[in-house]
């Protein structure tokens, strides 16, 4: 079984694929109906394989109607077609949701006592498993050991969401929302045929994304054009490569990526605190957020009025340089990556400004983007140059932001020490 690759939903090449959806016996099975609908609307052919326990929660007629395909739980149906082998062999991706503690255990130990577990053994395509269970079950050492085993084999096990569970319980173990799971499946489909490297398994990475907002008054703020899309692409591709991901998101209007721990922030000061907290135990920190260079010295307690004789003067102060602080505090085994959105001027072009910034900051890698004129900010595509402190440079042509993210993770992996991941 190989893990999901990365990409961006909606890119050509993924529509019309054969998706096998394995449904485990958990109450979250009802949410999988929405996942199936989204996959079919994207043009995929969906074959649903529920476990017998799953049919206690959502019946077979529902799955058949949603998928438009035959549904069975038995290896003895249509034996002449050898379904326990053929379904896995012909799939472009297999996604299991909800992946119960029992299903994770059976998959990790290679058991094949029903149709779904047979398919998991015969599949040679990307496999995605989305666990859902009570917090105590998810955190149990046996479950965590099974998850580690599956990830070591290349299975993309998505971290469960935190929220309301069965009854009045809340905590880690909630199935991610169908829209997010659909995005994960699209990432897997875009990489079918070549296994996503699991070179970040056991690593913790911190990614900042978006743009900070420094308040002038209760209504107005100083901000920038960053959408957070590149940071989110970095987070999702790191997850696909096996990392535990903390995403510090500054004013981003995007849905939280499934399996990623998201820390929302607003200002440069909040981002600084959140990044430093997460960086304390991280192997890699990527500062993709656009952090404001300046903030008002004082914030007006009330909205500044327009009907005054003169426009108010806002005095500014420099914000703390978070990237430089990270470099100063880094451990010898930690990789620090910066981003620089640059334009050319009379003094130098955008790339030279990036080289100068790398020298000033002292980080291991710096991604330089040319901005302005509809480039980089708010777009689905990006291009740039990855500069290394050791002098190398990697040009990344215009393409999906996930492609740039993967090239950056390639460069990061090459700089991680051979020490055992924490």
251 part of the active site = no
Q: Could you tell me how many helices (H) and strands (E) the chain has, helices first?
A: 13, 19
DSSP 405: H
Where are the extended beta strands (E) located within 236-375?
Answer: 244-250, 261-265, 284-287, 294-296, 316-318, 335-342, 365-370
Rg (CA), the chain: 23
Strand, coil or helix: 36 = helix
**Please, what's the b/e burial string for 154-172 (b: 16 or more CB within 10 A of its CB; e: otherwise)?**
bbbbbbbbeeebeeeeeeb
Burial class (CB in 10 A: 0-12, 13-18, 19+), 294: middle
Distance of alpha carbon 185 from alpha carbon 7, whole angstroms: 10
Where are the extended beta strands (E) located within 154-292?
Answer: 156-157, 161-164, 170-174, 204-210, 214-215, 221-222, 244-250, 261-265, 284-287
Element (H, E) at 359: helix 350-361
| Number of residues in the chain | 422
How many other β-carbons are positioned within 10 Å of the β-carbon of residue 359? 11
For residue 16, give both structure tokens: 């019309």
Catalytic one of 224, 251, 369, 382? 224
Nearest to 254 by CA among 226, 273, 280: 226
Cα 244–chain centre separation: 10
DSSP 391: S
Calculate ∠ Cα 374-376-382, nearest 5°. 120
Distance of alpha carbon 4 from alpha carbon 198, whole angstroms: 10
Distance of alpha carbon 31 from alpha carbon 177, whole angstroms: 8
Backbone phi, then psi, for 222, in 5-degree steps?
A: -95, 125
Q: Annotated catalytic sites, by residue?
A: 224
């Amino acid at each position: 079984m190989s893990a999901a690759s990365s990409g961006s939903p909606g890119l050509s090449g993924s529509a019309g694929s054969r998706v096998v959806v394995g449904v485990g016996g958990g109450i979250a099975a009802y949410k999988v109906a929405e996942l199936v609908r989204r996959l079919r609307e994207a043009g995929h052919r969906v074959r649903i394989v529920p476990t017998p326990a799953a049919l206690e929660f959502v019946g077979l007629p529902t799955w058949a109607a949603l998928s438009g395909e035959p549904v069975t739980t038995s290896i003895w149906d249509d034996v002449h077609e050898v379904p326990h082998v053929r379904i896995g062999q012909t799939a472009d991706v297999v996604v299991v949701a909800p992946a119960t503690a029992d299903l994770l255990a059976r998959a990790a130990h290679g058991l094949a006592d029903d149709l779904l577990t047979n398919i998991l053994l015969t599949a040679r395509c990307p496999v995605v498993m989305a666990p859902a269970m009570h917090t105590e079950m998810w955190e149990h050492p046996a479950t965590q050991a099974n998850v580690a085993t599956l990830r070591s084999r290349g299975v993309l096990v998505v971290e469960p969401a935190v929220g309301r569970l069965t009854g009045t319980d809340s905590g880690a173990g909630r199935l991610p929302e169908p829209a997010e799971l659909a995005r994960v499946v699209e990432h897997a489909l875009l990489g079918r045929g070549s296994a996503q490297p699991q070179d970040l398994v056991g690593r913790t990475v911190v990614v900042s994304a978006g743009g900070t907002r420094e308040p002038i008054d209760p209504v107005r703020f100083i901000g920038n054009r960053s959408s957070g899309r590149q940071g989110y692409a970095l987070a999702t591709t790191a997850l696909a490569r096996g990392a535990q991901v903390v995403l510090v998101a500054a004013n981003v209007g995007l849905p939280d990526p499934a399996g990623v721990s998201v820390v929302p922030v607003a200002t440069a000061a909040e981002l600084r605190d959140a990044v430093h907290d997460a960086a304390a135990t991280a192997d890699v920190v990527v500062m993709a957020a656009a952090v404001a260079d300046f903030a008002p010295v004082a914030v007006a307690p009330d909205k500044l009025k327009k009907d005054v004789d003169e426009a108010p003067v806002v005095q500014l102060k420099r914000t703390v340089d978070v990237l430089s602080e990270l470099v100063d505090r880094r451990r010898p085994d930690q990789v620090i990556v910066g981003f620089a959105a640059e334009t050319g001027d009379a003094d130098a072009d955008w790339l030279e400004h990036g080289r100068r910034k790398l020298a000033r900051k002292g980080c291991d890698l710096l991604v330089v983007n040319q901005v302005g004129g509809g480039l980089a900010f708010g777009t689905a595509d990006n291009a740039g140059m990855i500069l290394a402190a050791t002098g190398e440079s990697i040009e990344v042509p215009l393409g999906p932001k996930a492609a740039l993210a993967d090239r950056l993770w390639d460069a990061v992996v090459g700089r991680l020490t051979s020490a055992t991941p924490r």
